[in-house]
C-alpha cells in the first residue's frame, strides 16, 4: 500500500471503506471527488497545451456538436480546465448518474442543464439527442469517472452522431486502465484493454482460454481488465489456471486516491493474496505478455500436424484441444486450415 504522504498538498479520497466502495461503476470506478488546492507551477514552465479562456475556445464550442469529457477517477485536481469549459459551455450535459456528477459541478461552480444517459436508456434516447445536435445544440457527455465509452455508456450516441455527420470531439483526461498500465512495470505496448471479464466463472474461463489460444497463435501484449472487488480472487485464480501460476500480473486499486495501491506478483501469488478477503475500492487487473520462449503457434501447428497423420480432422482437433486446454472450436478451425494446406 502506498505511503499516505503520497497525497502531497492535494486532498485525496478516502481509502474506499465506504459502503459503496465495492460497487463497480464507470471504468470500474465510482469517484469520491475531492479538491486539489495545489496550483503553483515552476518558474519558466511552458504554458499548458490546452485552450482556455485565455487561449481560445474549446473545440466545437462555437457550433453544435458532441463533446466527450473525461472526469477524475478519484482526485478532483485531475479535472482539466478544458473539461470545465466544455461543461460550462454546453447546452446539455449528459451524465451516467446526475447525482455523482452534481458533486463535480458543485466543486467548480458549473450549473448546466444535466440529464441522465446510462445503459438502460441510451438506445431509447439517442435519436432525439442526435436530432438536437443536428439543430445546433452543444452537448457534453461525461461518465461517473474516467473517459466516456470505456466500460461506460455513450458508444451508441457517439456512433449515431458520427453517422449523422455532426461534429464529435473529446476532452481527454484521467483513465484508470492507462494509469494502471504505466504504474504496473509491465511492457506498456502493445496492450489490449478488455473491459470487465464475464462475471460468471464458466464464461470467464472460456474467455481466458480464447485469449490464451490467441497467445499461442502469436499475440504478445499486456492485457488489462477492470474487475469488481468481490470477484477479484476468483478472477485471479482463473487467470492462473489459463495462463500459468507464474505469469506476471498486477492488481491496481484506488488509483489517484490517498491509499493508492499497486501490487505486483505472479498470478497464483496474487490469487492467494485476495482469495479470502476481497479488497475495497476500484480495481484494475493487468497480465503481462508471455515470455518469448513460451509455446506459440508453431507448437500448436506441430501438434495438429502430427495428429492429422493418423486421425481425422475432427479427432485430431479433439485430441490437441484436450491436451492443450485450448477451445475446441479454435483448434478445429486451425486443423481445417492445416488439412486444406496439406491437400494442395
Residue 5, pLDDT > 80, answer no
Q: What is the DSSP string of 285-333?
A: EEEPPPPTTS--HHHHHHHHHHHHTTS-HHHHHHHHHHHH---HHHHHH
Q: What is the pLDDT of residue 192?
A: 97
Residue 33's contacts (CB-CB under 8 Å, 6 or more residues apart) are 13, 72, 74, 76, 103, 104, 107
Q: What is the pLDDT of residue 307?
A: 81
At 69, give phi and psi (nearest 5°): -115, 120
Residues 97-148: tens digit of each pLDDT: 999 999 999 999 998 899 999 999 999 999 999 999 999 999 999 999 999 9
Mean of all residue pLDDT scores within the chain: 82
Reference 300, options 319, 329, 324; nearest CA is: 324
Which stretches of the chain are DSSP H helices? 81-89, 98-108, 122-134, 155-163, 176-184, 201-216, 232-243, 267-273, 297-308, 313-324, 328-343
Instruction: Give the range with max mean pLDDT: 215-224, 265-274, 276-285.
Output: 265-274
Rounded Cα distance between 201 and 193, Å, is: 20
Residues 176-227: tens digit of each pLDDT: 999 999 999 999 999 999 999 999 999 999 899 888 878 877 889 999 999 9
Amino acid at each position: 500500500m502506498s505511503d499516505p504522504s503520497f497525497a502531497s498538498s492535494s486532498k485525496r479520497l478516502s481509502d474506499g471503506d465506504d459502503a459503496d466502495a465495492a460497487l463497480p461503476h464507470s471504468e470500474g470506478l465510482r469517484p469520491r471527488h475531492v479538491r486539489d488546492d495545489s496550483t503553483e507551477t515552476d518558474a519558466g514552465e511552458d504554458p499548458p497545451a490546452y485552450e482556455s479562456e485565455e487561449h481560445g475556445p474549446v473545440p466545437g464550442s462555437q457550433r453544435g456538436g458532441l463533446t466527450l469529457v473525461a472526469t477524475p477517477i478519484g482526485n478532483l485536481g485531475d479535472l482539466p480546465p478544458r473539461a470545465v469549459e466544455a461543461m460550462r459551455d454546453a447546452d446539455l450535459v449528459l451524465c451516467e448518474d446526475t447525482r455523482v456528477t452534481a458533486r463535480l459541478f458543485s466543486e467548480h461552480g458549473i450549473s448546466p442543464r444535466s440529464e441522465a444517459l446510462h445503459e438502460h436508456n441510451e438506445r431509447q434516447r439517442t435519436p432525439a439527442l442526435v436530432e438536437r445536435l443536428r439543430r445546433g445544440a452543444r452537448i457534453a457527455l461525461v461518465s461517473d469517472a474516467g473517459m466516456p465509452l470505456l466500460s461506460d455508456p455513450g458508444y451508441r450516441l457517439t456512433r449515431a452522431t458520427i453517422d449523422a455527420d455532426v461534429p464529435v470531439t473529446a476532452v481527454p483526461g484521467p483513465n484508470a486502465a492507462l494509469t494502471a498500465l504505466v504504474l504496473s512495470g509491465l511492457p506498456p505496448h502493445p496492450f489490449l484493454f478488455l473491459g470487465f471479464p464475464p462475471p460468471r466463472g464458466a464464461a470467464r474461463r472460456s474467455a481466458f482460454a480464447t485469449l490464451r489460444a490467441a497467445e499461442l497463435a502469436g499475440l504478445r501484449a499486456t492485457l488489462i481488465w477492470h474487475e469488481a472487488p468481490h470477484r477479484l480472487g476468483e478472477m485471479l485464480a482463473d487467470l492462473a489456471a489459463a495462463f500459468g501460476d507464474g505469469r506476471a500480473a498486477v492488481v491496481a486499486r484506488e488509483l489517484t486516491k490517498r491509499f493508492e495501491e499497486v501490487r505486483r506478483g505472479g498470478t497464483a501469488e496474487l490469487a492467494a493474496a485476495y482469495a479470502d478477503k476481497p479488497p475495497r475500492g476500484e480495481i484494475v487487473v493487468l497480465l503481462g505478455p508471455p515470455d518469448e520462449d513460451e509455446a506459440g503457434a508453431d507448437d500448436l501447428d506441430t501438434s495438429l500436424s502430427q495428429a492429422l497423420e493418423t486421425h481425422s480432422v475432427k479427432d485430431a482437433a479433439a485430441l490437441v484441444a484436450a491436451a492443450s486446454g485450448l477451445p475446441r472450436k479454435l483448434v478445429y478451425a486451425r486443423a481445417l486450415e492445416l488439412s486444406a494446406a496439406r491437400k494442395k
